Structure 1
Amino acid sequence: MNTSATDSTATDKNRRPGMRDILCLAIGLAIATLGLLNSMPAIPGLPRVGPFGYEFMHPVMLGLAACAAVARSGLAWNRPVRSPALRVLVAVLDAALVGALLYTLADYYQTMMQLKSGLFFFDPRHAWIALAGVGLLLAICYRVWGLALTLVAGTALLYFYTGQYWPGLFNMVPVDWVEGTAESLWYNSSNGVLGSLLGIVINTILPFILLGALLEGTGAGGSMIRISLHAFRYARGGPAHAAILSSGLFGSVSGSAVANVVGTGVITIPMIRQRGFSPAFSGGIEATASSGGQIMPPIMGAAALVMADFTGISYLTIIVAAAVPALLYYGSLFIAVIFEARRLGIEAEPEVSELDPALMPTRQDWINLIMVVVPLTVVVVSLLVGFSPAGSGIMALASLVPLSLVLNPAIRKAPWQLVLALGRGGNSFATLLIAVAIVGIVVAVLSSTGLPIKFAQLISASASGSLFMSLLLAMFAALVLGMGMPTLPAYLTIILIMGPAMLRLGLEPLVAHMFVFYFGVASAITPPIAVAAFAAASISKASPLKTSVEATRIGLVIFILPFAFAFYPELLLVAEAGGSDRIIDLLSILLRLVLTIVLITTALAGFDKRALSRLNSAIRLALAVAMLVTWPWLHWPAFALGLALIVSHYLTPVKKEALA
């Protein structure tokens, strides 16, 4: 599996730094510094450098990102090169490729400035430069992100030039070679590779990427893992519960499911196996917890920040809307571990390895928690007092740096660790920016062809006016489109194609975006290409496909929740969702959802207090589905039957239970 280059450093920590590492650090620091200067909020009494114009900022940041990606992974050679002559040749080839891309970016700046100054016409030279820039970025994307994202963008590009030959729904008028290529793909301030989507990521997301990198660099991430392991050491699930808590908290900040699996899973997954869980379950629970971090407030990874810009809804409102579904999802993971532990007969006794002094939290670990709580609090408070999301992220960074120097002696002795963390954060952002630039190709094609509108009409016709069937079709389309992609580009690709269809269903924009966002997250654990589950399988030594199937079983609630808040938007708590403002309606669906989660989890595990028969499991699943139907005459009797079934299961002795 080709995972993101953002995760490659997990295996390189003990390697002696080379020239390429130093170059990556320098580029990462340049990205971090320029990005922070650009996003710095206006604070009375302090000078403000940015924001810079998009004509300058977009090509410079994308150029730096490309340099970092090539320097980090090596574009021209996938294996270590031992021959000095070949090393020189590879370096020259990489430099030539990056140099060519930088030339196309420099031409973007010059052309956009000319466009602003007056009358301007594109010529074939601009079309060839645009096509060369897109091709070079696709090559870099393949090396950094693998085949899935590259294939999606490549297919979109192929369709852009051959759409007039496609049948039916996909048929379109031919594009003008010069205008279509130059303006749609490259020289455009709204769409295309260097358009507004790239600007959203540069202006909004960078501070939060750097915040996650600093939390890890200051030791706060490791402290969360040790404290979580200590807190659950006498629970049945033990390290499995710890993995859910630590991965959920840290995944919210890091925004990358795969990076979170690699970062926390190397500690938690072996310990989950030692507690007695199967390798596939061990990897699956880590994958589900790490993926779900992106739906957990208050940070929610990068996609929620983009959602705020797309919808025009405040980031703080999105945080509030995400709270209840996220808590229900993580509650379902804890319940899944409890019943799996019961099924396997695992007792609440820690393994010797779990009591290893090296894994026991020290006084410093508890102090380091302050470095987690304070920045997250600063983010929320800054949003409440009126700062932008980017400004709130920078305020959190500004609080974390002095806190780490005051509270952590290791940072005081080696303050350059903060610089190294910023460099790593800049490199992580670079790989994300490459992905978003590639999604810009898809944006350009969709904007030029009007395909999303046609797709919306097709879904409406196929579903025959049924909201449920329309949502079901949208779910399958979202999972397919998100296969193999990280969450942010998956969410962007899905919402661009499915967004008009969602709005045609009568959903509020916030509900439609949250629906798509959830399935963008879910695609990381959904077979056959489940990037988070595959990353976990590489640590647990289980079959990747079996791990993804297990992760889907454990995290099934993430597939149910979007339908729940689509039909019951009051779950999102905010007026923008368009739900009922009566507290009784919220309590009604919450009560039914909690029992639904218990019934589904026990049915899929085949175990509650004791083993369940297939008939009992089937009945539980049927009642769980019935409880979510909007008709009161059906969901309340189903609720009563479900509750009675559980009570009778616990009260009936084993030998007299009819269905067990």
Structure 2
Amino acid sequence: MTEDKAKGRALSEEELQELVAASDSGARNPAGAVGKMLAIVAVIWSLFQVVLASPLSNVILPGDIINNSRQIHLAFAIFLAFMAYPALKSSPRHYIPIQDWIFALFATFTALYGYIFYDKIVSNGGLADDTDKWFALAGLLLLFEAARRALGPAMAIIATVFLAYVFFGSSDWVPDVIRWKGASLKKAMSHMWTTSEGVFGIALGVSTKFVFLFVLFGALLDKAGAGNYFIKMAFGALGHLRGGPAKAAVVGSAATGLISGSSIANVVTTGTFTIPLMKRVGFTSEQAGSVEVASSVNGQIMPPVMGAAAFLMVEYVGISYVEVITHAFLPAVISYIALVYIVHLEAVKRNMPTLGDRDVHLSRTVVGMFSFFGVFAGLCYGSQFPVQAAQAWAPSAAGLVMSVAVVAVYVALLWFAARVPDLEPDDPNAEHVELPVIKDIYKAGLYYLLPIIVLVYFLMIEQKSPGLSAFWATALLFVILLTQRPLKSIFRGESDTANAFMGGVADLISGLIDGARNMIGIALATATAGVIVGTVTLTGVGQVMADLVEFLSGGNLILMLILVGILSLILGMGLPTTANYIVVSSLMAGVVVELGAQNGLIVPLIAVHLFVFYFGIMADVTPPVGLASFAAAAVSGGDAIRTGFIAFFYSLRTVALPFMFIFNTDLLLIDVGWAKGILVFIIATIAILVFTAGTMGWFLTRSRIYESVALVAIAFVLFRPDYVMNQIQPPYRAIAPVQLEQAMGNAKEGQMLRLVVSGPDFDTGDVKDTTIVLPVESAGDGAARLKALGLSVRPEGDSLLLDEPFPGTPFSDTMSGFDFYLDTPVTVSAVKAQADQAPKELVFIPALAFLALIAFLQRARARKLEGVPA
């Protein structure tokens, strides 16, 4: 396969499906009784997860199964991994060798070890005894082998390196900067296998509780036919425009990426149709593959799933799921808008032809798309009103009433769909491409929106847990898969209703199998990443990473962020989205927070996690390991390395955005009201389009170099108006540290004071600085306000000494990095109060005026080139 890609041969449909299977669901598919057994195990796993997420789980399942659900989850995954993934390329595909049976069964036993011997482990306080440690070590080795098969060597190698560091990190040959005291085999295995600090930690818990249901939801929705419907709708809306296939690829990939946990599957699923059409209108093989890569990988940053990272952020950051997707929404949306614009500019630069013979009405298309999304958002938001009416009318039966109402709406939409033919996938290589007409096809799949509306309603309106929300949406998909075929048959007056029903049962079973097999890699990734997280908590290597980045950056904040981004790219190479987020956030998130505070930048934790997440997923794009780029090259027949570099260029806005929202958290809608949020959205959209025009060298016509530079500068000002305003009017005024109590007393509620705290580092004894922000929230004088924050200060000459905050007070964790018991005291070295400053939004006026000037100049030049009088 590698030789074929190197020669530029596009892979066949069968080879592409094998590529996806090899990376996502397992390349081995034995026939006969063994194949049926594996299918049954996959179905049982899916049904177990559905029951586990249901409101009746406590009634249906025994308590010990619920308490040990992580072990059961991993047992299913590791068993299917050894069954479905061959050990080597030369290993058999059509039967399972005896050694894989042995590995699978023993690995399943080790995964269930904590469940089987739960009482013994609890009686030992969670510590492993001499027997436990050997089973735990065997379990880790088998987990690494399963991860190697399912995820490739990168994950297993990284985990092995970290585990080796646990055992050998105390050796003399390890550099002093990263050396630690070491751990015995028993202690390490206790930490990694028999407690919830390692393999069976937060990441695997999130995979068990939330991720499986969303992956299953996506598999069932695709099996129902929604994927083909979304692609056809995208082509119907955009395919007739200049560069239309590429624009439709972006929108279609966005729709599938919403529910997909795999950028590779996204590339192959939508790319087999979109890439040939892009090549037909003038995109090169590499460009067509790059557009698909950029749009598919972007699907991982788009809420609500975000490649499962959204659920992990809930646990790691400690905020609600609704807050996570609210903060992630704006950067993801403007990133997709920019990608559509990139495609448009490429088409205009190359004067690409349009597909089909339909009249092109760009404004009508844009209005139509925004109207669709507006109506869909309105339906999601408006769904709460009939629920409230039902609760007021029949409080005890509101759930039943709404269930009947949803079923009634579904049946009505299905009757609507039965009046038009079922949608069949188009052949992108056909001699004559006939683009779908929206008004002829939209009826065929409106009912696919119902499960998505149910999901959004429970997530956003009811604010139920992600697992329960996905359960109700999945339950509706069960109904749809079982009934859509027979009901359509009845509505059309056909006589094969029984066969149609059996076809629906087959679709449901196939969807359950696909959901389970798609989860194998994610479950193993989260379990294996638990070893890395466990190593960080056991050894404190995270502090070493902070020291390394600080040393390499020389204390420069921008350079530090660039280094963190590069390290995130390196750590994410070859890893799936979920795994690379766990790895890079475990190692890098704390680095950004700590070093940012030392440089006077207070960064919200969610901004840091999104920063490392964005760079982690860019590893799917970036050569030499970009998995999505290799998959796209396999579809297009282009060169994989060139595809990766072009895709990286197309993804520059995904690289630039994290730097912007680290410094301007308005882009994450943090502490932003509705009115300001709308303004931020409009300005950020203009900024990302201007940045795109600047980097592409084309705005209204081909840009001159100084115009491109000016456009990028305007984009920067629109993204960072605070930077410009701070140069005009300083945001803070300095106050003598000994006047801190007086400044706190004079401050109005809602204001903030910034303190620079200096003192000896707890680990090294070297003096360091960190910045903290004191919110003024309580009434009283300065001393009372400081006491409410758990801070105790005492003046000594011109210095202000700070006592160690009591545990549990707001700043006890922040101050834990200082040693308060050395001769060198911890002091408040600087105090800054908020100064009166003009609104930073005023900066938008000259920036937009300058943009209008460039537009005027380019418009005049374009008209002159066209021979039109100015």
Q: Same fold (TM over 0.5)?
A: yes
Asked whether the 8 Å contact 2:75–2:109 carries over to 1, the reply is: no
Aligned twin of 1:34: 48
The structure where helix makes up a greater share of residues is 1
1:126 to 107, 127, 132: 132
Mean alpha-carbon deviation: is it higher for 62-71 or for 406-415?
Answer: 406-415
Q: Give how far 1:539 is off.
A: 0.4
CA distance in structure 1 between the aligned counterparts of 2:645 and 2:40, rounded to whole angstroms: 41
Closer, same or farther: CA 78–431 of 1 in aligned 2, 3 Å = farther
Matches within 5 A, 1:461-480: 462-463=552-553, 466-480=556-570
Give the stretch that moved more between structures: 55-64 or 587-596.
587-596
Question: What amino acid sits opposite 1:632 in the alignment?
Answer: V
User: CA offset at residue 455 of structure 1?
Assistant: 1.9
Distance of 1:11 and 1:444 partners within structure 2: 27
**Contact map agreement 1:236 1:338 (CA 8 A) in 2:** yes
**2:724 paired with 1:632:** yes
Q: 2:181 aligns with which of 163, 173, 179?
A: 173
Distance (Å, rounded) in 1 between the aligned partners of 2:610 and 2:127: 41
In the TM superposition, what is the alpha-carbon distance from 1:94 to its structure 2 partner? 0.6
Alignment match, 2:525? 435
SS at match of 2:258: helix
Cα 1:362–1:405 change in 2 (3 A) is farther
Alignment pair present for 1:571 and 2:648: no
Q: Secondary structure at the match of 2:353?
A: coil
Counterpart AA for 1:187: T
Equivalence for 2:7: none
Contact 1:342 1:607 in 2 (8 A): no
Q: CA deviation at 1:520?
A: 2.2
Contact conserved, 2:83 with 2:104, CA < 8 A, in 1? Answer: no
Could you report, residue by residue, the CA deviation over 1:395-419 in whole angstroms, capped at 9, with x for unpaired residues? 1011222234444448645112111
CA drift at 1:19:
4.9
**Match in the other structure for 1:398:** 475
- Partners of 1:145 and 1:400 in 2: CA distance: 29
Is 1:652 the equivalent of 2:652? no
Offset at residue 35 of structure 1 (A): 1.0
| 1:348–1:5 distance in 2 versus 1, CA, 3 Å | closer
> What is the correspondence of 1:199-238 to structure 2 with a 5 Å cutoff?
199-238=205-244
User: 1:547 pairs with 618, 627, 643, which one?
Assistant: 643
1:110 aligns with 2:98: no
Q: Identity, % of aligned pairs? A: 27
Alignment match of 2:322 (pick from 316, 319, 324): 316
Paired residues for 1:442-453 under 5 Å: 442-453=532-543
Question: Which runs of structure 2 are paired with 1:517-556 in the superposition (5 Å)?
Answer: 517-556=613-652
Corresponding residue for residue 21 of structure 2: 8
CA distance in 2, matches of 1:331, 1:551: 16
**Structure 2 equivalent of residue 274 of structure 1:** 280
For the residue of structure 1 that corresponds to 2:311, the secondary structure is: helix
The whole-number CA distance in structure 1 between the counterparts of 2:698 and 2:574 is: 32
SS at match of 1:650: helix
Residue 591 of structure 1 deviates from its aligned partner by 5.2
**TM-score (norm. length: structure 1):** 0.89
Shift of 1:137: 1.4
CA contact (8 A) 2:110 2:135 kept: yes
Q: Which residue in 1 is equivalent to 2:815? A: none
Q: Which consecutive unaligned segments of at least 5 residues does structure 1 have? A: none
> Which secondary structure does the structure 2 equivalent of 1:164 belong to?
coil
Q: Which 10-residue stretch deviates more, 523-532 or 632-641? A: 632-641
Q: Is 1:561 the counterpart of 2:567 in the alignment?
A: no
Aligned to 1:385: 462
Distance 1:340 1:399, change over 3 A: same
Distance of aligned partners of 1:316 and 1:653 in 2 relative to their CA distance in 1, 3 Å threshold: closer
Q: Residue deviations 1:328-380, cap 9 Å, x none? A: 00100110011000111113343996896887479995345334321121112
Extract unaligned runs of 5+ from structure 2: 3-15, 358-427, 490-499, 597-601, 728-842
Distance 1:517 1:354, change over 3 A: farther
Q: Distance in 1 between matches of 2:861 and 2:434?
A: 45
8 Å Cα contact 2:700-2:855 kept in structure 1: no
**Aligned counterparts of 2:723 and 2:431: Cα–Cα separation in 1:** 51
Which residue number in structure 2 is paired with residue 490 of structure 1? Answer: 580
Seen in structure 2, the aligned counterparts of structure 1 residues 174 and 423 have a Cα distance that, compared at 3 Å, is: same
**Residues matched between the structures, number:** 642
Does the 8 A contact of 1:6 with 1:428 survive in 2?
no
Q: CA 1:201–1:11 in structure 2 vs 1: closer, same or farther (change >3 Å)?
A: closer
Structure 2: how far apart are the matches of 1:120 and 1:617? 61
Give, in angstroms, the shift of residue 153 of structure 1: 0.9
> Match of 2:690?
599
Match of 1:69 in 2: 81
Distance 1:5 1:437 in 2: 25
- Using a 3 Å threshold, how does the CA distance of structure 1 residues 121 and 500 change in structure 2: closer, same or farther? closer
Structure with the larger strand share:
2
Could you tell me whether the CA contact under 8 Å between 1:24 and 1:427 is conserved in 2? no
Whole-angstrom distance in 1 between the partners of 2:440 and 2:52: 35
Distance 1:201 1:565 in 2: 28
User: Residue type matched to 2:634 in 1?
Assistant: S
C-alpha deviation, 1:136, in angstroms: 1.2
2:337 and 2:573 map into 1 onto residues whose CA distance is: 26
Asked if 1:335 is matched to 2:341, the reply is yes
Instruction: Tell me, in whole angstroms, the C-alpha distance in 1 between the residues paired with 2:466 and 2:63.
Output: 15
Counterpart contact for 1:56–1:109, Cα < 8 Å = yes
Shift of 1:276: 1.0
Asked if structure 2 preserves the Cα contact closer than 8 Å seen for 1:112 and 1:187, the reply is no
Q: 1:320 to 1:372 in 2, by over 3 A?
A: farther
Alpha-carbon offset, residue 625 of structure 1 = 3.9
Change beyond 3 A, Cα 1:365–1:452: farther
- Per the TM alignment, residue 589 of structure 1 is displaced from its structure 2 partner at its CA by 5.2
Contact 1:38/1:52 (<8 A) preserved: no
In 1, Cα distance between equivalents of 2:444 and 2:317? 36
Question: Hey, what's the Cα distance between the residues in 1 that align with 2:439 and 2:509?
Answer: 25
